[in-house]
Amino acid sequence: MAEREVVLEVDSLVRHFPIKGGLLRRGRSSVQAVDGVSFTLGRGETLGVVGESGCGKSTLARTIVGLDAPTSGSVRYRGTDVHRTSARGLREMRRSVQIVLQDPYTSLNPRKTLRDLLAQPFEIHPDVLPRERRLTRIKELVELVGLDPDHLDRYPFQFSGGQRQRIGIARALALEPEVVVCDEPVSALDVSVQAQVVNLLRRLQRELGLSYVFIAHDLSVVRHISDRVAVMYLGKIVELGERRQVYERPRHPYTRALLEAVPIPDPVGRDERARTLLAGDPPSPVDPPSGCRFRTRCPKAEDVCARTEPTLEAEPGTTEAACHFPHRNSLARLGA
């Protein structure tokens, strides 16, 4: 794949949430929601981020767009550190890096009409567009996401879930951003509506040259939209690579287990295919295991996994995997 111009760099990003000691606990501990995440995002590229609930995906999204401050590490948009710039610089950055939130039922103010919801970005950034041109721009945004301009005076409850998510997308695009972080934008929607919204996002990317960080727990959705995929487990990226490599030649046992759990429509061999069974639930992010965080559920774990934390490493033509004993065989059938 040709090298892309880098628009977003996430470097050793850490976001911990302190917890004060209770009646029976002394001192302080913290929820290690994101713990040393690094990646780049190219112009016009979609990076899919997948993992179980609680792995830190949404915290990563909020930290990227500046809604949460990092404990350490950096997020740089076109070379400027998002969290170490001036108030004016952060304001300018937020025009270029927007977010689409997960729940279309709670992310829209129920007391505001569609017209008012799409006017909000211009009220926050009044220098972007003269007031007399805003209504024209609002109508353009509504049509861009496949809604009816005649419905500008409707309230959110008068729209379906899929239409509400289209409103959220239109609002994110109002200021003509370059990067859009999509935090599980289709997880609350019916399957048929999910496909419509994903196809809309792909069309908008082609037409507007957008770059996406697309967060989801549905592997089939991520495969449909992503160029590269990052797999998160307990606050860390355990595998990162081109979409086809991740889906057909996964190297990390966790990635493999996720893929083997995906239902396949072809009944031939479905019951006989190998599955990696994960023991128990993910550990608490307050007290993660030493060494490899996945070792307590990994069927390949050995003593070294408890002593030494693996780093993301790749061999020629493979994904980067944080594993002492990465897989070397293919899962091509799962890509059928």
The one-letter amino acid code at 93 reads M
Closest CA to 58 of 37, 80, 74: 37
**Ranges 200-209, 264-273, 308-317, 324-333, most confident:** 200-209
Q: How far is CA 111 from CA 114, 167, 184, 303, in A?
A: 10, 15, 24, 57
User: For residue 333, what pLDDT band results from cuts at 50, 70 and 90?
Assistant: very low
Q: How many CB atoms lie within 10 A of CB 38?
A: 16
User: For residue 281, what pLDDT band results from cuts at 50, 70 and 90?
Assistant: confident
- Percent of the chain residues past pLDDT 90, beyond the cut: 74
Angle at the Cα of 69 (from 65 to 72), degrees rounded to 5?
115
pLDDT at 129: 92
pLDDT of residue 271 exceeding 70, the answer is: no
Closest CA to 160 of 147, 170, 142: 147
pLDDT of residue 267 exceeding 70, the answer is: no
- The structure tokens 């487990």 sit at 233
pLDDT of residue 334 exceeding 80, the answer is: no
Identify whether the C-beta of residue 34 lies closer than 8 Å to the C-beta of residue 60: yes
pLDDT of residue 175 exceeding 70, the answer is: yes
Burial class (CB in 10 A: 0-12, 13-18, 19+), 283: middle
Q: How far is CA 202 from CA 44, 196, 309, in A?
A: 10, 10, 37
Ramachandran class of 184: left when φ > 0, alpha when ψ lies in -120 to 50, beta otherwise: left
pLDDT at 315: 85
Q: Please state the pTM of the whole predicted model.
A: 0.91
User: For residue 253, what pLDDT band results from cuts at 50, 70 and 90?
Assistant: very high
pLDDT of residue 130 exceeding 70, the answer is: yes
Query: What's the pLDDT tens digit per position in 181-217?
Result: 999 999 888 888 999 999 999 999 999 999 999 999 8
Q: DSSP states of 125-162 as a string?
A: STTSS-HHHHHHHHHHHHHHTT--GGGTT--GGGS-HH
- The structure tokens 């890096």 sit at 97
Give the domain ranges of the chain: 253-336
pLDDT at 335: 42
